[in-house]
Structure 1
Amino acid sequence: MREELKILRRRFGGHTPSLLGEKNRYAVLCPLVEREDGLHFLYEVRSRTLSQGGEVCFPGGRMEPGESPEECALRETEEELAIPAREITLLGTPDFISNQAGFLLRPVLGVVSPRGFAAMRPSPAEVETVFTAPLSFFHDTPPQSWHYDLLPRVPEDFPYEAVGIPRDYAWARGRVDIPIWYWQGHAVWGMTARLTAQVVRALYDDEANEKEEP
C-alpha cells in the first residue's frame, strides 16, 4: 500500500465523525429533577458578569481535549452548581446542535437525585440564580416562534466563470427558528429551548405510542 494511503487510513480508520470546520465544541447537561407535580427541568440564569449574562441556560461549557460530552457536562455542572457527578444518573445523549459558525453543542440528559438537588450551591461567578419548570408546561404550552434568515453575501469579484457557474447562481439559503417560552418571569429560548423541546417531544411521543399499543 502506498505510504499516502497508510497515512489516510491512520487518520480516518476508526475515526469518529464530527462537524467539518468545527471551531468550538461544548457540552451541556439537561438536568431533570423529580418534584411533587412531576419531572422538572433545572435551569440556570447566567451571571451578569459573563457573556450573554442574564440568559437562561443549562449547565455546561467548553469541552476539554480528550473529554467526552458526558464528562464535560458532569464537570461543568459540579463547577457551576456544586452537584456531585455521583448524584446524577445519565439517561442518554439527545441530538446535538451545530450552527454556521462552527459551533457544536452536545447535550447530555440526566436526572439529579434529591440529595444532589438539596446539595446544590450555585457559583456566584457563573450563576445568577436557578429555577425549575415542569416538563408538562412545555408540552401543554406552545412556544412563541420567531426566526431569522441566513442570506448569502457573495463578494462582487467572486470568480463565477472560473468555477463554471452563472452570476445568478442560486446560493443556498437557510433559516434559524427561535422558540421562546415564558415561565414565571424567565424566558427559555434559543438553543436551550430547542433542546428542551427535543426532550419533551421524545417523552410525550413515547407515552402516546405506548397508549396506542394493544
Structure 2
Amino acid sequence: MSPAASPEDLREWISQHLDPFDSELPATAARSDFDLNPEMRVPEGETVLRPAAVLVPLVERPEGLSVLLTRRSDSLRSHSGQVAFPGGRLDPGETAPQAALREAEEEIGLDRSKVSLVGLSTPYRTGTGFLVTPVVGFVRPDLVLTPNPDEVADIFETPFGFLMDPANYERRFYDMPDGQRRHFYAMSWENQLIWGATAGMLRALYDRLYGAAMA
C-alpha cells in the first residue's frame, strides 16, 4: 500500500504486517548493527542481551501519517544529540509495550491515552548489547508534548512517506578509534540526521511492510 494512502487505510494495513504483542522472536531473527558490519565482533563475554523497547509513534495527521522522533539531549552520557524514538531499557517485570509507553511519557510527556498500540516491528540488536523491541502505535493528532530537558533536546515529526522511500536512505560510515570502519544507514530530514539504530529500525519496518531489501 502506498505511504500516501489515507491514515485510516494505512492503520489497518500496517497492523496486519506487525507481530502480536506476545511474539517471542529469538535474537537471531533481529536486525542489528552487525548487518552492515559483519567484521564487527560481539563483545567478549556478552551472552545475555539487555531488553529495551522504543515506541514508534505514527501520528495520524489529516494530511497523512508522520513519525514522531526526538533528538537526545547533548548532556547525556551516551548517544547525546542523536535522533531516537522514545524508549529505554525494560524495568524488572515490565513488557515491551509497557516500557515503550512509560518511556514516552517520561521523555516527551506523551499521554498514553492518545496512543493506540497495534503490534511489534522487527527487534534490533545494538552493538552496545541491547535487544530493542520497536512497539508501533498510532497517535491522535491532538497531542500536547512536553520534553524532559534532561533527556530530550527537541521533538519533531517526519512524514511517513519520506521514511518509507528507499531513495532517501544513504549508506554512510565513520572510522572508529580502533581503526575499524563502521557503516550505517542515514536519512536527512530538514535539519535532522536520522541514523544508526533508529535508521536501522526504520529500514526494518520498510522491509517488513514492503518486502524489498534495500541495497
- Structure 1 residue corresponding to 2:121, chosen from 94, 97, 100: 94
5+ residue gaps, structure 2: 1-23, 28-45, 176-180
Report whether the alignment pairs 1:105 with 2:105.
no
4+ residue stretches of structure 1 with deviation over 6 A? none
**1:72 maps to 2:78:** no
Q: Deviations over 1:89-112 (max 9, x none)?
A: 001001101245532111100011
1:179 to 185, 191, 214: 185
The CA deviation at 1:43 is 0.3
Deviation at 1:76, TM superposition (A): 0.3
Tell me which amino acid in the other structure corresponds to 1:106: T
Aligned length: 165
Is this contact kept in 2: 1:26–1:106, CA < 8 A? Answer: yes
Does the aligned pair in 2 maintain the 1:135–1:200 contact within 8 Å? no
Q: Residues 74 and 138 of structure 1: is their aligned pair in 2 closer, same or farther, counting only changes over 3 Å? A: same
Paired position in structure 2 for 1:60: 87
How far apart are residue 148 of structure 1 and its match? Answer: 7.8
Distance 2:74 2:128 in 1: 24
- Give matches, 1:6-155, under 5 Å: 19=27, 21-50=47-76, 51-99=78-126, 101-115=128-142, 117=143, 119-140=144-165, 141-146=167-172
Bigger Rg, structure 1 or 2: 1
3-state secondary structure, aligned to 1:122: coil
Tell me the CA shift for residue 24 of structure 1. 2.1
Q: Which runs of 5+ in 1 are unaligned?
A: 1-15, 150-174, 207-214
Distance (whole Å) between structure 1 residues aligned to residue 56 and residue 25 of structure 2: 23
Letter in 1 for 2:138: V
User: Is the Cα contact below 8 Å between 1:139 and 1:201 reproduced in 2?
Assistant: no
Distance 1:17 1:198 in 2: 15
Greater RCO, 1 or 2 (C-alpha within 8 Å, sep 6+): 2
Identity of aligned residues (%): 37
CA distance in 2, matches of 1:58, 1:74: 11
What is the CA–CA distance in structure 2 between the aligned matches of 1:100 and 1:71, rounded to whole Å? 24
1:47-106 Cα shifts (integer Å, max 9, x gaps): 111122110000001110110000000000011111121211001001101245532111
The 3-state SS of whatever aligns with 2:97 is helix
RMSD of the TM alignment (CA)?
Answer: 2.6
> What is the DSSP-based 3-state SS (H/G/I as helix, E as strand, rest coil) of the residue aligned with 1:78?
helix
- Residue identity in the other structure for 2:111: P
Equivalent residues of 1:40, 1:133 under 8 A apart: yes
**Which residue identity lines up with residue 40 of structure 1 in the other structure?**
S
Mapped to 1, the partners of 2:93 and 2:107 lie a distance apart of: 21
SS of the equivalent of 2:148 reads coil
- Output the CA distance in 1 between the equivalents of 2:206 and 2:160: 6
Give the Cα separation in 2 of the matches to 1:204 and 1:56.
Answer: 24
User: Is 2:193 the partner of 1:197?
Assistant: no
The 5 A counterparts of 1:158-173 are none
Letter aligned with residue 53 of structure 1: S
